[in-house]
């Protein structure tokens, strides 16, 4: 069969979770699908760099530049002109004008829980695009059981239509023990060990103001490193840092965007990852920390227990006192950290892109109703 894939979100120099999902999944899916006799058509809004995808004689890269409304106009037209047997969008939306067989991934429904963290236009579009994807798709892929439950609850999607398929992280990510490399990365971002690390976009649902309050109460010698770009409504977070006592505010480090090649060293050198997010569809930083053999403190809500398994110190993210106690515990209890590190190494083995791609391909084959040639 012919599999069409929206690869537009995979082509970016600065990947967040959904872009990384698209990039690594497509790279794993191409050789698996073509080995099973399928053809793969990748649709892009611009030409990717050379060797960006593992192309072969069973793949076609379709570059269709368009200034605005690329998905709903240009991609939709291309799909209608040369309709694949199944169209897959890993990180975006099915074109409104396309009515062929489709499968879409829904990553999370955070806007449903925290509408104030989005602009009005973002809420309208996310509401429409999620409902549209669920209605138009033959099958829906969810990153976690938590997201699957949300789709059933909020949109009435039939449970048997949803495939829970866990993603993974960058296969090149690994623990870094080279002190010179760690020192260089810390110097690059203005970090002075020891430090507790938050990794992700700075936005309200990440619960960073409460994390800052707990950090101030904990009065630890560790820096608190907030690694990630400011997102929508990040100003109150930045204001909360300035409102801290001067000696505590001086120990809060804002790195901005972290280059992918620096992530391993940044995670490996941290005393712990602290991730008290109020809602996550998956929670990539938790798994990334476990891969890098770093202890994890995270919220006990949404998908995080599903992802971290028994390899994290859990806390009620809305309880500042509990979060303060958890910060002190994970920063000072070396035995606990070693237990979490060992459990995290085991847990991280559950996730890999080959398994993800195999399950996604099975979902695409089910949706199309066409068997592989091989």
Does a structural domain hold residue 327? yes
Q: Are residues 127 and 262 in the same domain?
A: no
Q: Are residues 142 and 33 in the same domain?
A: yes
> Average pLDDT in the 193-204 region?
95
User: What tens digit of pLDDT does each residue of 140-153 get?
Assistant: 999 999 999 999 99
Does a structural domain hold residue 286? yes
Q: Are residues 329 and 360 in the same domain?
A: no
What is the structure's pLDDT at 15? 78
State yes or no: pLDDT of 325 exceeds 80: yes
Work out the mean pLDDT of the chain and round it to a whole number.
Answer: 94
The 8-class DSSP code of residue 283 comes to -
Q: For residue 374, what pLDDT band results from cuts at 50, 70 and 90? A: low
Q: Are residues 218 and 128 in the same domain?
A: no
Q: Say how many domains are in the chain.
A: 2
Does a structural domain hold residue 239? yes
What is the structure's pLDDT at 151? 97
> Average pLDDT in the 333-361 region?
97
Q: Are residues 145 and 223 in the same domain?
A: no
Cβ-contact 298, 279 below 8 angstroms? no
State yes or no: pLDDT of 102 exceeds 70: yes
pTM summary value: 0.94
Q: Are residues 202 and 323 in the same domain?
A: yes
Is residue 164 reached through a cis peptide bond, with omega within 30 degrees of 0 on the bond before it? no
Q: Are residues 12 and 147 in the same domain?
A: yes
User: What tens digit of pLDDT does each residue of 73-99 get?
Assistant: 999 999 998 899 999 999 989 999 899
State yes or no: pLDDT of 340 exceeds 60: yes
Q: Which range marks the domain in which residue 230 is found?
A: 179-348
Q: Are residues 245 and 326 in the same domain?
A: yes
For the CA atoms of 356, 300, 129, 120, what is the dihedral angle to 10 degrees? Answer: -150
> Average pLDDT in the 212-236 region?
93
Q: Are residues 149 and 207 in the same domain?
A: no
What is the structure's pLDDT at 371? 66
Q: Are residues 13 and 133 in the same domain?
A: yes
The CATH number of residue 277's host domain is: 3.40.50.2000
Q: Are residues 334 and 363 in the same domain?
A: no
What is the structure's pLDDT at 299? 97
Q: What angle do CA 28, 30, 36 make, to 5 degrees?
A: 110
Q: For residue 17, what pLDDT band results from cuts at 50, 70 and 90? A: confident
**Strand boundaries in the chain, DSSP class E:** 2-6, 39-44, 59-63, 86-89, 102-106, 139-142, 162-164, 195-199, 223-227, 252-256, 272-275, 296-299, 313-315
- β-pair partners for 299: 315
State yes or no: pLDDT of 315 exceeds 60: yes
What is the structure's pLDDT at 373? 64
| CA 178/CA 159 separation, integer angstroms | 47
- β-pair partners for 228: 256
**Helix or strand run (H / E) with residue 264:** helix 260-269
Does a structural domain hold residue 191? yes
What is the structure's pLDDT at 372? 65
């Amino acid at each position: 069969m012919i599999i069409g894939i929206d690869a537009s979100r995979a082509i970016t120099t600065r990947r967040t979770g959904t872009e990384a999902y698209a990039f690594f999944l497509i790279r794993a899916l191409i050789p698996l699908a073509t080995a099973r006799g399928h053809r793969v058509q990748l649709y892009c809004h611009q030409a990717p760099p050379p060797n960006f995808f593992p192309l072969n004689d069973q793949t076609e890269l379709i570059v269709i530049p368009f200034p605005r409304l690329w998905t709903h106009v240009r991609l939709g037209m291309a799909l209608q002109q040369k309709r694949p047997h199944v169209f897959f969008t890993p990180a975006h939306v099915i074109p409104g004008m396309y009515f062929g067989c489709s499968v879409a991934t829904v990553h999370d429904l955070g806007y449903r829980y925290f509408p104030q963290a989005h602009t009005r236009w973002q809420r309208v579009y996310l509401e429409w695009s999620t409902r549209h994807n669920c209605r138009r798709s033959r099958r829906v892929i969810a990153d976690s059981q938590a997201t699957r439950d949300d789709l059933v609850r909020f949109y009435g999607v039939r449970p048997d239509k949803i495939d829970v398929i866990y993603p993974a992280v960058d296969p090149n990510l690994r623990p870094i023990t080279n002190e010179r490399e760690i020192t260089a990365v810390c110097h690059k971002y203005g970090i002075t060990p020891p430090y507790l690390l938050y990794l992700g976009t700075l936005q309200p649902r990440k619960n960073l103001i409460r994390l800052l309050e707990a950090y101030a109460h904990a009065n630890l010698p560790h820096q608190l490193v907030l690694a990630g770009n400011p997102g929508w409504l990040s100003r109150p977070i930045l204001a909360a840092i300035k409102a801290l006592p001067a000696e505590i505010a001086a120990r809060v480090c804002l790195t901005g965007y972290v280059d992918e090649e620096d992530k391993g060293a940044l995670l490996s050198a941290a005393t712990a990852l602290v991730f008290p997010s109020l809602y996550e569809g998956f929670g990539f930083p938790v798994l990334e920390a476990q891969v890098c053999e770093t202890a994890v403190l995270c919220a006990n809500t949404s998908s995080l227990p599903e992802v971290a398994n028994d390899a994290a110190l859990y806390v009620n993210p809305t309880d500042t006192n509990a979060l303060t106690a958890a910060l002190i515990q994970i920063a000072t209890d070396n035995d606990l950290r070693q237990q979490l590190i060992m459990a995290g190494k085991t847990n991280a083995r559950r996730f890999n892109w080959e398994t993800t791609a195999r399950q996604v391909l099975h979902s695409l084959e089910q949706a199309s109703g066409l068997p592989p040639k091989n």
